[in-house]
Amino acid sequence: MNLILAFVLASSANNVPRSRETQIRHGVYTSADLGFSFTPPSGLRDLTAAVNQAGGGSPANGRSRFEVLLWMASGPDDTAPDWLSLGIETYRRGRDRDSSDDLTASFITNYAVAGGMATERKVVRLSGLDFAMTRVERKEPPLTKYAVVYTTVRKEKFLSFWFSGNTREGAEKIAQSINSVRFGNLGHRDFSAARR
């Protein structure tokens, strides 16, 4: 993991243009395509372009598993006690699945995002939408990594927000930024309506 993260940090994020539909401006991330905004906590580096340049969510066979919308980290050493990271990813909603049970499918997606052992699962309402929220612990000896993952379905895609750290307190602290998420018509700055 350290080698990959070091490669990502060494890559120039400016070499890959960010889609005009997805961007960070004035500290706020927006996705016009999915109609939401999110304010990440300060102190993290935006490594999205470098992660996507390095292959992002695409396996070797070239078929996309997931799309990395945002990937941020506090630094290159993921073994540092104060290391933190966050991400926003989308996964295609299977057409053969029953879309009437988005929450159950979202909890399954949370496991795909973070792996590890779930220590808590619950449904939370954010900006008018129901999210499956899972707290996770994953052993990476000698460390235990902690994560909080939120997933909902938006425009036929699973939309996942994950927050991780090498301490439970660190992961929980940056996970509080999920409360900044807003859904709506971004062109008109109307984040009050949560529409699919």
For residue 98, what pLDDT is reported?
57
Look at residue 108 and tell me whether its pLDDT is greater than 70.
Answer: yes
Domain membership flag for residue 107: yes
Domain membership flag for residue 155: yes
16's torsion region: left (phi>0), alpha (psi -120 to 50) or beta?
beta
Say which CATH number the domain at 10 has.
3.40.1000.10
Domain that includes residue 132, residue range:
2-188
Q: pLDDT digits over 144-168, tens only?
A: 999 999 999 998 899 999 999 999 9
Segment 116-137 shows an average pLDDT of: 96
pTM for the predicted model, two decimal places: 0.80
Helices (H), 33-165: 48-53, 102-114
* Band (180; pLDDT cuts 50, 70, 90): very high
d(CA 161, CA 131): 10
- Split into its structural domains, the chain has a count of 1
Q: pLDDT digits over 7-48, tens only?
A: 333 333 333 334 444 578 899 999 999 999 999 999 999 988
Helices (H), 73-191: 102-114, 168-175
Domain membership flag for residue 193: no
Q: Contacts for 120-123 with beta carbons within 8 Å, 24 or more apart? A: none
